[in-house]
Amino acid sequence: MTLVDVLDKGYVRLVNHMGSDLTVVNAARVSYAKESTEWSEKDLRLIRFLAREGHTSPFRHVMLQFEIYAPLMVARQWWKYVVGSSHMEGTGDSLEAWNESSRRYITEEPIFYIPNPGEWREKPENSKQGSGQAIEAESGKDYTKKLMDYVEAGVQKYEEALADGICAEQARLFLPAYGMYVRWYWTASLQSVSHFLSQRLEHDAQKEIQLYANAVLQLSMPLFPNALAELKVHTNEDE
């Protein structure tokens, strides 16, 4: 499996990866000029030790590259991890890379995330952020239609501006931004991927980015079942 569909039109695709669970343990063992060629119980014990004691540099020798197609509201939450990676203890700017499509250069048909009537959620009772239970069906239908009308009006004005000769980088101002799908490449170390998953799989994360995090987990776990499991376990315990 290399692609997982998310939401109505989005997806996460595994583009490439480097390394394995053995890469992690061998990166740690190089200090003693030792190397494992086949996975064994002693390797699992070492990975558990590294994760438990916070010796994270060996996990940064493993890399994953994804292509992601998601609404802008998801992309901007995700982007914080790229910015934050350079401030994580013991890490640097090389932890993550991000390249995103831009409507300064492309004028392909804009695509938008439109929640189904049953996907609209009420505000939470005891918090200023997040969401609560699904709203009533009739209200959901009403808000889905309102959003569709709003998107249609914005796209029409965007296309009119382009037809009148307005440059693409300004014409895009007419597009309803937060629900518009964008596409990007995300390359990150296993440690960084684990940090993202530990926070965005939590119950209080925004529902939409939870779905994308779950797709990343589905694609990553078969490649690094031991290292990722131990990192996730100990990261969650620490929070």
Which of 174, 194, 213 represents a domain boundary (last residue)?
174
If asked whether residues 165 and 85 sit together in one domain, one would say no
Query: Is residue 89 scored above 50 in pLDDT?
Result: no
**Residue 110 within any structural domain of the chain:** no
In the chain, % of residues over pLDDT 70: 90
**Residue 71 within any structural domain of the chain:** yes
If asked whether residues 137 and 74 sit together in one domain, one would say no
Is 200 assigned a catalytic role? Answer: yes
**45 C-beta neighbours (distance < 10 Å), count:** 11
d(C-alpha 234, C-alpha 239), whole Å:
9
At residue 26, the pLDDT reads 93
Q: What length does the chain have? A: 239
If asked whether residues 197 and 159 sit together in one domain, one would say no
If asked whether residues 87 and 10 sit together in one domain, one would say yes
Task: Convert the pLDDT of each residue in 93-123 to its tens digit.
Answer: 456 788 888 777 666 789 999 999 999 999 8
Residue 109 amino acid letter: E
Note down the domain range covering 47. Answer: 3-105+181-238
d(C-alpha 105, C-alpha 236), whole Å:
40
**Residue 111 within any structural domain of the chain:** no
- What's the domain count of the chain? 2
**230 C-beta neighbours (distance < 10 Å), count:** 22
d(C-alpha 185, C-alpha 228), whole Å:
21
At residue 3, the pLDDT reads 97
Q: Give the C-alpha distances (Å, rounded to integers) separating 194 from 14, 130, 131, 148.
A: 15, 22, 24, 36
If asked whether residues 34 and 139 sit together in one domain, one would say no
**Residue 78 within any structural domain of the chain:** yes
If asked whether residues 99 and 202 sit together in one domain, one would say yes
If asked whether residues 185 and 170 sit together in one domain, one would say no
Task: Convert the pLDDT of each residue in 73-88 to its tens digit.
Answer: 999 999 887 765 554 5
Chain mean pLDDT for the chain: 88
Residues in contact with 150: Cβ distance below 8 Å, sequence separation at least 6, in sequence order = 176
If asked whether residues 8 and 48 sit together in one domain, one would say yes
How many separate helices (H) and strands (E) can be counted in the chain?
8, 5
The CA radius of gyration of the chain, in Å to the nearest whole number, is: 21
Cross-strand bridge partners of residue 181: 71
Q: How buried is residue 65: exposed, middle or buried, by Cβ count under 10 Å (0-12/13-18/19+)?
A: middle
pTM of the entire predicted model:
0.88
Residues in contact with 48: Cβ distance below 8 Å, sequence separation at least 6, in sequence order = 230
Residues in contact with 165: Cβ distance below 8 Å, sequence separation at least 6, in sequence order = none
If asked whether residues 167 and 187 sit together in one domain, one would say no
If asked whether residues 96 and 152 sit together in one domain, one would say no
**Residue 47 within any structural domain of the chain:** yes
If asked whether residues 150 and 165 sit together in one domain, one would say yes
Which is nearest to 59 in space by CA: 229, 237, 236? 229
**CATH code of residue 60:** 3.30.1360.170
**Residue 229 within any structural domain of the chain:** yes
d(C-alpha 72, C-alpha 49), whole Å:
38
Which of 174, 192, 213 represents a domain boundary (last residue)?
174
Task: Convert the pLDDT of each residue in 115-130 to its tens digit.
Answer: 999 999 998 877 667 7
If asked whether residues 101 and 8 sit together in one domain, one would say yes
**Residue 14 within any structural domain of the chain:** yes
